[in-house]
Amino acid sequence: MHFRSNQVIYALIRIYFGVLQMQEKPETTPIKRMADLLRQGATLTDLSCPVCASPLFRLKDGTLWCAKDEKKVIVLKDGEEPPKPSAGTAYDKLETILLTKVQDIQNKIEQTQDVDELQKLTVALSELLNSLEKIQKMKKA
């Protein structure tokens, strides 16, 4: 039993330092973000961003995305009106999705015995909670 408690302490220390390292990382480069998009199934288009001239990606849901600016790009035809954003609804939907993901990770944390997996899950949980906090602040503003 003593050996097992040492493993838990070691895991908590690794998680703590993993979270600290994650917070100290500089922004990922646009090239890395582009590679991540491709790995996630996005396709590279022949269009470029009107702001930075970086290539645009089409996400699985059909959205055009600039990896350098990390923003959605909307292409309008001549005379076409831009869609009116509904921030409140978008924030609510995103908040619901993130809360579901938090619950999923919580369930996985309860079930895992693997120290490395536990560390990855807690880092992901920390990021989700940070995102939730940001959304809640934006909704109040």
The pLDDT tens digits for 19-52 are 545 544 445 688 888 888 899 999 999 998 888 8
Domain ranges of the chain: 1-81, 84-141
How far apart CA 15 and CA 125 sit, in angstroms, is 11
Among candidate residues 92, 93, 104, 107, the one with its CA nearest the CA of residue 128: 104
Residue 83, both tokens: 């869609």
12-28 pLDDT, tens per residue? 666 655 554 554 444 56
pLDDT at 58 over 90: yes
Place of tokens 């369930």: 107
Name the pLDDT band for 57 (thresholds 50, 70, 90). Answer: very high
| pLDDT given for residue 55 in this prediction | 92
| pLDDT given for residue 3 in this prediction | 46
| pLDDT given for residue 24 in this prediction | 43
| pLDDT given for residue 81 in this prediction | 75
| pLDDT given for residue 70 in this prediction | 83
Among candidate residues 102, 37, 95, the one with its CA nearest the CA of residue 65: 37
Name the pLDDT band for 5 (thresholds 50, 70, 90). Answer: low
Phi then psi dihedrals of residue 71, to 5 deg: -140, 155
Give exposure, 47-84, as e/b (b: 16+ Cβ within 10 Å). eebeeeebebbbeeeeebbbbbeeeebeeeeeeeeeee
3-state secondary structure of 67: coil
pLDDT at 63 over 80: yes
How far apart CA 73 and CA 58 sit, in angstroms, is 10
Q: Is the pTM of this model over 0.85?
A: no
Among candidate residues 85, 37, 74, the one with its CA nearest the CA of residue 59: 37
The type of residue at 136 is Q
